[in-house]
Structure 1
Amino acid sequence: MDTSTHITIGFGLAGLAYLDPAIASDPMLAQAILLGTVIGSNAPDFDYAIRLVKGNGMYTEHHRGASHSLPAIIIWTFAISALIFIFYNQISYISLLFWTFLAVCLHVGLDILNVYGTQAGRPFTKKWLSLNFIPLFDPIIMLGHLIGFTFWLAGLSPGITFLYVYIVLISYIIIRYIISVNKRNLLHAVQKTGSFTIIPTISLHKWDFVYETKSAYDAGSITGKDIHWIHHFEKHGQEDKIIKASLADKNVQHFLANSKHAHTMYFTTSSSVEVRWIDLRFRHKEHYPYMAIVKLDPALNILASYTGWVHHSRKLNEKLITETKKVMPL
């Protein structure tokens, strides 16, 4: 999920905690638990520090990796609870520990439900776990919390309010899962040999997908029971010398470490070659913004590269110019 959702859920869990009479009657305990749930609900994404220290490419590869693993859940829980307890040492540590643990677990659990996924199974497996039926930002989940906050501010019991909010949202998530199974069954019925990934959108009615065969990728959407084939991409062979040259770039390697259905294309000019690796799971209208880009000279030496989200071509050009200057200072 996105950061705003994780923050919102942290506050929602703090409201739900008021179901416990001990918390409802102790403002200091309630305040400590609020800190625990909000920080805990965001802690696994503190791996953003990788981007600040090691750069965007390394962050792309490791985001939602070790920081979302089983050992990390325990470490985040105890570290956050212990830090808060230093300042609130008169409260019930067990209550603080429980609600912080719940917040961290809910963060990781919700991230598994979307298309990006996590490596939550580490250290037992490095496989990316993604169930693909909740979008990265879900307006229903956000709206449910905002309604709960409104009732809380109006003076209603936050515990009872968020109990009902979460019953409704759990029901909504179950409905989304059932719909995703129905969409998968529609694609299973397609007479093609290959694999596919369903991608949720904010609409329950419309779902995107990528269908991969040995020779091509097909991207499309399912509206109701109708399958719409939108884009067809023929695969380049790995022996292609331009593709092979781009694979030597570290940013491409970082990108491919957790990308699925990664298609490559390149554009040549008299002075350079630009290779783009795009993750077909993330489509916005006619554009695939999640990518790795490599700029090569005519001899296929790497001049610059970038990986991340690029929504505008001008932004892409600016990033490549910046990276080129780092390699070849003016």
Structure 2
Amino acid sequence: MDTGSHLIIGATLAGLAYVDPVVAHNPSLAQAVMVGTLIGSHAPDLDTILRIKGFSYYIRYHRGITHSIPALLIWPAFITLPLMMAYSRWDDWMHLYGWIFAAVILHVGLDWLNAYGVQCMRPFNSQWMHLDVLAIFDPFLFFLHAFGLGLWWAGYDPAGVFTWVYAISIGYIGLRAWWHHLLVKQVINMVGRQSICHVLPDLRGFRWSFVVETDECFYTGKIVFRTIRMEDVYTKEKRNHIIQATMGIDGVRTFLGFAQRIHVTWREHNDGYEVKWSDVRFWYNRKLPFGVDVQLDRELKVIDYSLGWRKKAWDPPFV
């Protein structure tokens, strides 16, 4: 999810920690938990520093090792130790560690629920996993948790407030997961052939997009409630010698390590060729906004390439 959502959930988790009597009756421990859950809710995304080494490096490693199974245990330990020293809460380390661990788990779990995905099973499996249930920013969850913080600030009991906030959140996510499952089955039945289907969330909760891959092509379209509308069909092209000439460059290797529904096209220019690799999962409004564009000369030597989003950061799709 986005940084703001992770941080607000870190704050509300500190409020939920008041269901723990040890936290509720020790103000200094409660303060340490607040600091710890705020840091823990964002810690796995500290790998964004990799952007300084270039977007290709960032795509290759973001949401990887820092979101892996070992990291789920290492991040809480790394955060808990200095907080125990700062607040002198050595006897309560299990409570502090436990709530920070919950913050890290929530971060990775929420990332798993969106369409971008996460390598959360490393080192046992490096596959990108995504459940496609939530957009990277979910307005309902954000404002629900913000409302809970407002009630806490107004003096309401945080244990009661956030028990309800988290119960509603779990119910909402479960409902969206169930709805998503129904939509995937509906889209596959509409296509009526053996296929791989992704139904992807929109900021507006009742709207979705879909991508269906068959042996010959990709079908794309939109869903409003349960009304499905097919929009574009992308035919798969054979990977000729022009396309093959781009597969050794760093940007394409990075893209192929991340992308799942891969579509590639090429066209000829006066001075060479252009090859466009795209991930159809991120189809939006008759465009394929995520991929890598490679420029070749007449001898099929790479002149230049660009990897990333062919859109402005605030434009859809939001993943």
Same structural fold, with TM-score higher than 0.5 when normalized by the shorter chain? yes
Structure 2 partner of 1:324? none
Query: Contact 2:6/2:41 (CA < 8 Å) preserved in 1?
Result: yes
Structure 1 partner of 2:74? 75
Equivalent pairs, count: 311
CA distance in 2, matches of 1:83, 1:295: 50
1:206 is matched by which residue type in structure 2?
A: R
**Could you list the per-position Cα deviations for residues 120-149 of structure 1 after superposition, in whole angstroms to 9, with x for gaps in the alignment?**
112222222221111111111101111111
2:56 is matched by which residue type in structure 1?
A: G
CA distance in 1, matches of 2:245, 2:98: 51
2:131 is matched by which residue type in structure 1?
A: L
Structure 1 partner of 2:213? 212
Moved more, 107-116 or 172-181: 107-116
Identity across the alignment (%): 36
Aligned ranges 1:180-329 → 2 under 5 Å: 180-190=180-190, 191-238=192-239, 240-312=240-312
Query: In the alignment, does 2:70 pair up with 1:66?
Result: no
CA distance in 1, matches of 2:288, 2:8: 28
**Could you list the per-position Cα deviations for residues 36-66 of structure 1 after superposition, in whole angstroms to 9, with x for gaps in the alignment?**
11111111111223222x3211211221122
What secondary structure sits across from 2:308 in the alignment? strand
Query: Contact 2:144/2:165 (CA < 8 Å) preserved in 1?
Result: yes
1:25 is matched by which residue type in structure 2?
A: H
Q: TM-score, normalised by structure 1?
A: 0.88
Structure 2 partner of 1:14? 14
Alpha-carbon deviation of 1:29?
A: 1.4
Alpha-carbon deviation of 1:272?
A: 4.2
Alpha-carbon deviation of 1:271?
A: 2.8
Alpha-carbon deviation of 1:179?
A: 0.4
Structure 1 partner of 2:40? 40
**Could you list the per-position Cα deviations for residues 6-47 of structure 1 after superposition, in whole angstroms to 9, with x for gaps in the alignment?**
111111101111222332333321221111111111111112
**Could you list the per-position Cα deviations for residues 212-266 of structure 1 after superposition, in whole angstroms to 9, with x for gaps in the alignment?**
111211111222333211111111212x122112212111110111111121223
What secondary structure sits across from 2:277 in the alignment? strand
Query: Contact 1:45/1:64 (CA < 8 Å) preserved in 2?
Result: yes
Query: Contact 2:133/2:180 (CA < 8 Å) preserved in 1?
Result: yes
CA distance in 1, matches of 2:148, 2:41: 18
Query: Contact 1:60/1:307 (CA < 8 Å) preserved in 2?
Result: no
Alpha-carbon deviation of 1:300?
A: 1.9
Alpha-carbon deviation of 1:311?
A: 0.7
2:72 is matched by which residue type in structure 1?
A: I
Structure 1 partner of 2:100? 100
What secondary structure sits across from 1:229 in the alignment? strand
CA distance in 2, matches of 1:220, 1:46: 35
CA distance in 2, matches of 1:135, 1:128: 17
Structure 1 partner of 2:114? 114
Task: Say if 1:9 and 1:121 are closer, same or farther in 2 by CA, change over 3 A.
Answer: same
Alpha-carbon deviation of 1:70?
A: 0.7
2:262 is matched by which residue type in structure 1?
A: A
CA distance in 2, matches of 1:18, 1:88: 18
What secondary structure sits across from 2:281 in the alignment? coil
Moved more, 201-210 or 142-151: 201-210
RMSD of aligned residue pairs (Cα, Å) = 1.9
Query: Contact 1:220/1:231 (CA < 8 Å) preserved in 2?
Result: yes
Moved more, 204-213 or 8-17: 204-213
Structure 1 partner of 2:55? 56
CA distance in 1, matches of 2:305, 2:28: 50
1:8 is matched by which residue type in structure 2?
A: I
CA distance in 1, matches of 2:172, 2:236: 38
CA distance in 2, matches of 1:293, 1:177: 34
CA distance in 1, matches of 2:285, 2:153: 39
What secondary structure sits across from 2:119 in the alignment? coil
Q: TM-score, normalised by structure 2?
A: 0.91
2:242 is matched by which residue type in structure 1?
A: I
Query: Contact 1:132/1:200 (CA < 8 Å) preserved in 2?
Result: yes
CA distance in 2, matches of 1:56, 1:196: 28
Q: Which runs of 5+ in 2 are unaligned?
A: 313-319
Query: Contact 2:188/2:195 (CA < 8 Å) preserved in 1?
Result: no
Query: Contact 1:236/1:264 (CA < 8 Å) preserved in 2?
Result: yes
CA distance in 2, matches of 1:137, 1:283: 18
2:31 is matched by which residue type in structure 1?
A: Q
Query: Contact 2:199/2:210 (CA < 8 Å) preserved in 1?
Result: yes
What secondary structure sits across from 2:133 in the alignment? coil
What secondary structure sits across from 1:246 in the alignment? coil
